[in-house]
């Protein structure tokens, strides 16, 4: 009788473990499936294409000397972290870009190296060149831009760059 009792307890214990394991596995599968569906909904290649299009517009606005249009590329809480300067908040972006244009910068070339992220935020790294009115390279270097989705549109949240040119 004692052996039967121990067998029943042991069997119940094993059955309980198997039952818990099955429900945990099912729960995990549902969670993983949900993550896969969410991930499948976000198309990183499309996001890269969107950013390339935004960058084309940004370069065009720069070449046209339109500091107001340049500032409009940023989120309302956007910020620029330029080299050798304090951070610039969104309220002062048009003035910052206007100053760069008045200094003689006439063209900006951006080349995307990498984009990663999700449907809320993206990190873009790349190379830049700033040119004067005679098409001379005034500065070149690398940049990081963090993009944020605002009302369904990508806006620049953080923008930082630094030169690759030697100090004079």
- Name the token pair of 57: 């517009």
According to the model, what pLDDT value does residue 123 have? 98
Distance of CA 126 to the CA centre of its chain: 12
Kindly provide the residue ranges of all beta strands, DSSP E only, lying in 86-133, ordered along the sequence.
88-89, 105-117, 121-132
Q: Identify the pLDDT of residue 19.
A: 39
Q: What angle do CA 43, 160, 116 make, to 5 degrees?
A: 20
69 is written with which tokens? 């249009």
Phi then psi dihedrals of residue 87, to 5 deg:
-65, 150
Please report, for the chain, the start and end positions of each structural domain, with discontinuous segments joined by +.
1-41, 43-163
pLDDT of residue 5: 37
For 54, the token pair is 């935004």
Output the pLDDT for position 37.
52
Note the pLDDT of residue 30. Answer: 40
The pLDDT value given to residue 93: 98
In this prediction the pTM is: 0.76
What CA–CA distance (Å, rounded) separates 108 from 104?
12
Q: Are 59 and 73 in contact (CB under 8 A)?
A: no
Which mean pLDDT values do the consecutive 10-residue runs of the chain (168 residues) have? 40 38 40 50 93 98 98 98 95 97 97 97 98 96 98 97 92
Q: Around Cβ 99, how many Cβ atoms within 10 Å?
A: 12
CB 156 within 8 A of CB 70: no
Do residues 161 and 128 touch, judged by C-beta distance below 8 A? Answer: yes
Residue 85, helix vs strand vs coil: coil
Longest dimension (CA), the chain: 100
Topology of the domain comprising 43-163: Nuclear Transport Factor 2; Chain: A, (3.10.450)
Token pair 């067998």 is found at 7
Phi, psi of 30 (to 5 degrees): -65, -45
pLDDT tens sequence across 85-134: 999 999 999 999 999 999 999 999 999 999 999 999 999 999 999 999 99
């Amino acid at each position: 009788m004692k052996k039967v009792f121990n067998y029943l307890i042991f069997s119940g214990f094993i059955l309980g473990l198997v039952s818990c394991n099955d429900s945990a596995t099912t729960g995990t599968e549902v969670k993983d499936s949900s993550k896969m569906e969410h991930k499948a909904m976000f198309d990183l290649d499309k996001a890269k294409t969107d950013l390339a299009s935004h960058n084309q517009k940004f370069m065009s606005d720069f070449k046209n000397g339109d500091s107001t249009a340049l500032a409009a590329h940023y989120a309302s809480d956007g910020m620029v972290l330029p080299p050798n300067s304090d951070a610039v908040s969104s309220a002062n972006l048009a003035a910052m870009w206007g100053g760069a244009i008045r200094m003689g910068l006439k063209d900006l070339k951006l080349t995307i190296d990498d984009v990663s992220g999700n449907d809320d935020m993206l990190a873009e790294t790349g190379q830049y060149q700033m040119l004067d009115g005679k098409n001379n390279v005034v500065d070149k270097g690398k940049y990081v831009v963090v993009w944020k989705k605002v009302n369904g549109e990508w806006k620049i949240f953080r923008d930082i760059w630094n030169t690759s040119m030697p100090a004079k």
